[in-house]
C-alpha cells in the first residue's frame, strides 16, 4: 500500500472498509476517498472507535481497516499491512503545554521533557507513532 494506486486497488477490492468515527475517519470519508475518486465505489463502515474497526476486520466483517498506525499495530487478530503513501497521509501532531496557574508546574514540565526525550522515542515508535523532536 506504499503507492496511491496500490492503496486504491486494495480499497476497491475490499467488500467492506472499516474506519473509525474519529478525526481520521472523518477525513478519510469526507476528503481522501472523494479526492481519490473512490468514495462512491467502496463500502465504508464507520465504527465508533478504532478498536471497533480493527475488531470488525478480525471478525471477518470487513476486509480492511484504514486508521492511524497506533490503532492497528497492537490490535488482536489483524495484521498491519503498511503505511499509506506519504502524499496522502493525514498527519496528526500531538503537543503539550503547561496550563497557566497550574498547581503542578514542575511535574508538568518534567512530563513534557520526558515525552520529548530520546528515552521516550522508542516507546512512541513502538506504539506506531513518530516522535518529532527530542530534547538533549
What does the angle CA 60 – CA 3 – CA 50 come to, to the nearest 5 degrees? 35
Q: Which residues pair with 53 in a beta bridge?
A: none
Helix (H) or strand (E) holding 64: strand 64-65
Residues contacting residue 77 through CB under 8 Å, at least 6 positions apart: 54, 55, 57, 58, 59
Burial 17-40 (b: 16+ CB within 10 A, else e): bbbbebebbeebbeebbeebebee
Q: Which residue has the cell 478498536?
A: 51
Mean pLDDT of all residues in 63-86? 94
Mean pLDDT of all residues in 95-108? 92
Architecture of domain 4-88: 3-Layer(aba) Sandwich (3.40)
Flag whether pLDDT at 136 surpasses 70.
no
pLDDT > 90 in the chain, percent:
76
Q: What is the overall mean pLDDT for the chain?
A: 92
Mean pLDDT of all residues in 44-55? 95
Mean pLDDT of all residues in 15-34? 97
- Whether the full predicted model's pTM is greater than 0.85, yes or no, is no
* Band of residue 68 on the pLDDT scale cut at 50, 70, 90: very high
Mean pLDDT of all residues in 107-112? 94
Q: Which three cell numbers stand for residue 64?
A: 480492511
Q: Where are the domains of the chain?
A: 4-88, 93-136
Q: Which residues pair with 135 in a beta bridge?
A: 117
CB 125 within 8 A of CB 131: yes
Mean pLDDT of all residues in 45-67? 96
Flag whether pLDDT at 133 surpasses 70.
no
Flag whether pLDDT at 134 surpasses 60.
no
Amino acid at each position: 500500500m506504499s503507492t496511491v494506486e496500490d492503496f486504491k486497488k486494495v480499497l476497491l477490492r475490499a467488500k467492506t472498509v472499516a474506519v473509525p468515527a474519529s478525526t481520521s475517519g472523518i477525513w478519510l470519508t469526507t476528503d481522501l476517498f472523494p479526492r481519490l475518486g473512490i468514495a462512491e465505489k467502496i463500502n465504508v463502515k464507520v465504527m465508533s472507535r478504532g478498536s471497533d474497526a480493527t475488531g470488525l476486520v478480525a471478525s471477518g466483517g470487513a476486509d480492511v481497516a484504514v486508521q492511524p498506525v497506533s490503532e492497528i499495530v497492537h490490535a488482536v487478530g489483524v495484521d498491519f499491512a503498511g503505511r499509506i503513501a506519504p502524499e496522502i497521509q493525514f498527519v496528526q501532531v500531538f503537543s503539550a503545554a503547561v496550563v497557566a496557574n497550574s498547581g503542578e508546574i514542575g511535574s508538568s514540565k518534567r512530563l513534557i521533557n520526558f515525552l520529548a526525550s530520546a528515552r521516550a522515542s522508542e516507546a512512541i515508535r513502538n506504539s506506531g507513532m513518530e516522535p518529532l523532536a527530542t530534547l538533549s
